Structure 1
Amino acid sequence: MDIQLKLEEHLKKFHAAPFLFVGSGFSRRYLNSEDWEGLLRRFVEYIRPGGFAYYKSTAEGRLERAAGLMAKEFHQKWWDDEQFTDSREEFGERATDTSSPLKIEISKYLKEKKYEYGESTQNDIEIEALKKVVIDGIITTNWDTLLEQIFPDEFHKYVGQKELLFSATQEVGEIYKIHGCSMDPDSIVLTDNDYGDFQKNNPYLAAKLLTIFIEHPVLFIGYSMSDENIQNILTSITSCLSKEHLDKLQDRLIFLQRKDKGEEDTFFAGPLTINGNSIIVTTIKTNDFSLVYKALSKYKRKFSAKQLRQIKSQLYEIVKTSDPQNQIYVTDVEGNINSPEVQFVIGVGVASKLGEIGYEPIPIKQLYEDIVNDSPSYDYEKVTLNLSTFLRIDRYLPMFKFILFSGVAVEELDERVKKRLSEITGDSFITLTNRKKIGHIQTNCKTIEGLIEQYDEVGKVIEYIPLLDKESIDQALLSEFIQENMEILEYKSG
């Protein structure tokens, strides 16, 4: 079977370039490094030689608990033992809790791991092919710096959940190290306490990654489909999706795995069960990963991922700032540009159409505020004629008010807007997980007041309002509730 050709054809279904989701198997393949349990077995030798089984059994098989137990004993050893004198001098001020010493030593060990050319001809071929892939970004749970070695200048790195959640990411030209990085020992997700914090914020991380999974094919390398990290992340993501959007994941998730001895190369689709829901994923089995990497290099675009990120980042800054020194200029290809103050020149679409509609970089958050307020802030005709652009930023943007008061006939709307209007039903705002709760909510809460009494979290009330019987929703109270909680848009608009 021609794996490269099959994957090339498969990727033609999608307009966006792929993301890679990289796990520990990737590092085992190219660095010959240990997996998580292997690392713990290596470092247990400092405190209880040959005694990892003790920690694992005490932790009832949970590696994060075993790591937490080890970290407590390693802490005392690290501060007392002469073999860690240099580490204490370098990192002592950064050892802020009992898990810090173990994280520091694991980080030092991993920082020394580099890919060495010449040790495996096959791996050399694969790494060279990997360097040429055309992708929009990488998500990884690995702590080592192999990806930074392979792509030294191409990707901007975000380390840990917090940095990713509170940054204006561009979703192109970026690496998301969601479990931390050895370059910052404190960021590593290692112990049960770390995993507790990670799981607490996991819904927010899932929301941040949701657009990537909906809009891009995602190639998993170095994970099995049963990997707990992957299952947890996919569960968080899919629990946010309605049936309509869950179907859009079909074919986008691709798992690259080594084939077993005696097996032929295979490329096939099959079901993967996540949180009780079955979705179709693609599995590639081969021992020559260069075939997959070469297929990823066939995607054509005029700018590198790094250049695209720089453009998107600068445009984002121009749009969000109120500083008049930041200038954006729209012209046709024959226009003359004389102003030295112009920072970006953009020519998109037909010039006459742009002149007819006008250009207004309205932040999505302000459109939401306009929907809630009684007095209009914008020309609704211009907003309506630009709805297809706004929907690319936020496909859930409510459109009905703008269309109703715009004077624009439905037949004049952009085809993408008409398609989106035809897709929207009451069920569009109900996830598969929440569908099971409709009976409970309608019986026990019944109204918005009932939801507010039952749930302290505003987010939960908002999530469950679509589950109420429509006849029981007091529209005046709903409007008041939305106006009082508009600050929730601060997170959405990131």
Structure 2
Amino acid sequence: MALLKNKVSAVITTNYDNFIEKYILDEHYTVFTRQHEMFSKDSYNVSELYKIHGSINDASTIIITKDDYAQFNKSRKLFIAKMLTLFTESPIIFLGYSFTDENIRQIVVDFLNCLTPEQLNTISDNFIFITYKKGEKNLEEIKRTIITEKGENIPITEIATDNFLKVYQTINQLVPGMTPKNIRDTQRLVKRIVNNTIISGDPSNVIFGIDEIPDDISDKNIAIAIGNKEDIINQYGYSVVKDEEILEDIIFNNKKFDAKNMCKERFKSLYLNRLMPVYKYIKKSKIDISEVPKLEAYVNHHNEVDKIITPAYKKKNLRSAPTFNNIPEVKKYMQETNDINKVFKGVLNSIDILSLYQLREICKLYFHNYIDKLSKNSNFKRVVMYIDYMENFN
């Protein structure tokens, strides 16, 4: 279920507890517990959780008494307006609510009364109720009809099932072009760009990948270039390529960097004590590395396995490290220790046992979830350098 956070743009719930934000979503989702917050300057309509009946984190927001519900009904136009905003972007799925619940039914009718005739014509494809049906292991599709206050019959889709895992698996098959967090962060970034440009009139150039937008950009004046990231890097210079992107490219072969520019621009100031895979780019560029003196010196300093993983380094850092014969042993050790540093100490210590394929698969297994730690981990970087050396040296 935790994977759904990358598929679902926003969640509306009447639950008070913290289950959704703790076990399904994460800290990247903004939580709103009061109706007026839904249209605040901090709301972007994506990567957000709306707890319309309040939260246990703030008892004053909880709607539980008759008077609470009466007050909620008076102000629910804000909630309906938020549903309309979300509906223009995505289908709405009701999960865990009875179609016969009068409170929910009234909200739905109020919502439908706000739609245009064109929207009502397509509502059944975009307005879906998931209901419980004991013993039903498949997803049974049922066409229902709601009668609005205007007397219109509006068809909606109901999915009846006793197999909610299949519901989650089906939703998880969605392949959005960008994750909700990416969309929200991009909106936030563009808003900041506009604000800073108006205030300062003099933005500076900073390039962010869509997955790399930092949480705090308040101290930067930013200009934005929209387009293919590789094209932008080609235009503005390869010196902006981050270490973790290079490590990722060696592991996944997914960045499409221009090899010659990597050698001449990114590696032109490479220091000897850096841990950086370079041989993929040297091999593909076919340049004479004597044209890049610091890169040539770096190669001479790392042109043997014993120079990448020196005996002195092994003795000092790997003396008590475990050894692994296969990937399952690595996974088991990670489950037992939950220590990514110890895992890659063991992987590096097993470099002569594990195949290149196994080494790459282990790197893939943990890269995205632990990139912040791994990009600073000398054992991990030496593993990647070893893979690069064995595949591309000479």
TM-score normalized with structure 1 length: 0.39
- Between structure 1 and structure 2, the one with the greater Rg is 2
Q: Which has the higher contact order (CA 8 A, sep 6+)?
A: 1
